[in-house]
Amino acid sequence: MKKIIHVEGMGCQNCVKHVREALEALDGVKGANVSLDTNTAVIELSNDVADSAIIAAIDEAGYDVTKIEAA
């Protein structure tokens, strides 16, 4: 299962790294591909991860989630 997360506030590759690390630290996330060009993160899940947990992790990293959708 994959989810696409739309993220605001990223401005550089260091931001991309922070978002990727925040997402990959979540239990159930197998990997995250974060794009500065599209301001999105595509995560691959080994089990369902609540949208609220995803939002909290990105918020804690200092960025904003505008939308989460199934891929």
Find the mean pLDDT for residues 36-54: 96
Class of domain 2-70: alpha beta
Quick one: which H or E segment has residue 41? Answer: strand 40-45
Residue 7: what pLDDT?
98
Residue 52: what pLDDT?
97
Give the chain's mean pLDDT.
97
Tens of pLDDT, residue by residue over 2-33, are: 999 999 999 999 999 999 999 999 999 999 99
SS3 sequence, the chain?
CEEEEEEECCCCHHHHHHHHHHHHCCCCEEEEEEECCCCEEEEEECCCCCHHHHHHHHHHHCCEEEEEEEC
Tell me how long the chain is. 71
Residue 25: what pLDDT?
97
